[in-house]
Structure 1
Amino acid sequence: MFYAQSSSRRTRQMIVDGAVLLWAALWAAVAVTAYRLAQLLAQPAKGAEGSGFSAELTAAGATAARVPLVGGKLDATLRTVAGAGDRFATAGGGSQQAVDALAAAGAVALFVLPVGLALALWLPRRLRWTRQASAARDLATSEDGRELLALRTLMRPLDEVARTATALPDATPGSLAEGWRNGDPETLDMLADAELFRLGLRSA
């Protein structure tokens, strides 16, 4: 399973997933823009055409600077990529294929680095929750599995166990541990449900 069953947990997951997708789309647009600018500015510029390229570069940098959070870095990156293309054009010694390859490599790096960082932070946590939720859902269908889920609740940090006990009627951390040790069905069910709730799942 990829999303929680509880509405609050599922909403948070969808918001984070959407933010990651938007981040990837933003940098994809930036990479394409940088690639096109590099190709444009790599063409030999003469006379008034050269002035037009410089003006377009200035306008692109000013627009990039207004992008939230990454405006300054984006402005500097576009100018660097454009400057490299302009040097190729001025020197006149590089072939169009070499210029295209350089522009493509810069665009790919511009996309992969920030998106790769976001995925490295987001994807492991997302996959770990998916594995835990799928395993918990399967365990909840059997008596032995629910006992393991109950034990998992008792193995949480002490402050979380205390909060779990506070949320249950007439329960204390000690009584929960005693109930699990004695195999009390009601205590086992409460503890198992607490672990399912922590993962955003409904009781079996």
Structure 2
Amino acid sequence: MKWYADRPPRLLWQVLADLLAVAWTWFWVKVATAVGDSVRALRAPGDGLSDAGQSLTDTFGDAADKARDVPLVGDRLAEALERGRSAGGTLSDAGQAQVQAVESTALWLTIALIAIPLAFVLITWLPLRLRFARRAAVARRLRDQGRLDLLALHALNTLSLRDLAAFPGDPVEGWRRQDPEVIQALAARRLRANGVRP
């Protein structure tokens, strides 16, 4: 495949378009990671809730273990403290759920902010680049094989009526007669149109 044109004006536009596509992708990756980091900062309350719940669980658990040693009321006291441990576990689970929700939101938001602009680039820029590469490669191969008559025929089929009318003489008749000058001129136009040096 031939990715870039031989002629400087078109080559410049292609390089600029490629650089713009890379810059566009890099920009959105940076934006997406920054937004993801900002959303992840919202997990602090969930972390605090989880830590507080864990601390409550540990504190009530230790108290329940020690309460069992109290004569007569130890078991009932430990049972009441176990409910406190359970409440701490519930609080910790709520904090973990909030952290998971924030992490999930940050991940999917980051993916969306990268995927949508990247899809835009792949839908607009990539097909144009691939089409140019294929056409330029075929045109260069025909030129290298000396098949200028095919290039000239293609030029006859693709030139505008204005260009055909401005062509000196009758280009169709010249192509039929295999006039080397007409074939060379038509092939050169087709090669230039495909970004290949004649």
C-alpha distance after superposition, 1:147-181 (max 9, x if no partner): 1100111011433633762xxxxx14xx1111001
Distance apart, 1:99 and its partner CA: 2.7
Contact 1:154 1:161 in 2 (8 A): no
> What's the counterpart of residue 36 of structure 1?
37
Q: State which structure, 1 or 2, has the greater radius of gyration over its C-alpha atoms.
A: 2
Match of 1:195 among 190, 193, 197: 190
Alignment gaps of 5+ in structure 2 = 49-93
Does the aligned pair in 1 maintain the 2:164–2:171 contact within 8 Å? no
> What are the ranges of 5 or more consecutive residues in structure 1 without an aligned counterpart?
47-90, 166-170
The 2-side partners of 1:6 and 1:163 are apart by 26
Aligned residue number for residue 156 of structure 1 = 158
Percentage of pairs with the same residue: 32
Q: Which has the higher helix share?
A: 2
Q: Any residues of structure 2 matched to 1:123-138 within 5 Å, and which?
A: 123-138=126-141
User: Which of 177, 180, 185 pairs up with 2:180?
Assistant: 185
The corresponding residue for 1:116 is 119
Alpha-carbon RMSD across the aligned residues, in angstroms, is: 2.0
| Superimposed CA distance per residue, residues 12-40 of structure 1 (whole angstroms, 9 cap, x where no aligned partner) | 10111111111111101110001100100
**Bigger relative contact order, structure 1 or 2, given CA contacts below 8 A and separation 6+?**
2
CA 1:179–1:34 in 2, change beyond 3 Å: closer, same or farther? same
Give 1:119 shift: 1.8
Structure 1 counterpart of 2:90: none
SS in 2 for 1:4: coil
**Aligned residue pair count:** 151
Q: Deviations over 1:75-114 (max 9, x none)?
A: xxxxxxxxxxxxxxxx746253443232111101111101
TM-score, normalised by the number of residues in structure 2: 0.70
Which runs of 4 or more aligned residues in structure 1 lie more than 6 Å from their structure 2 counterparts after TM superposition? none
**Map of 1:58 onto structure 2:** none
The two structures have a TM-score, normalised by structure 1, of 0.68
Q: 1:146 and 1:5, CA in 2 relative to 1: closer, same or farther beyond 3 A?
A: same
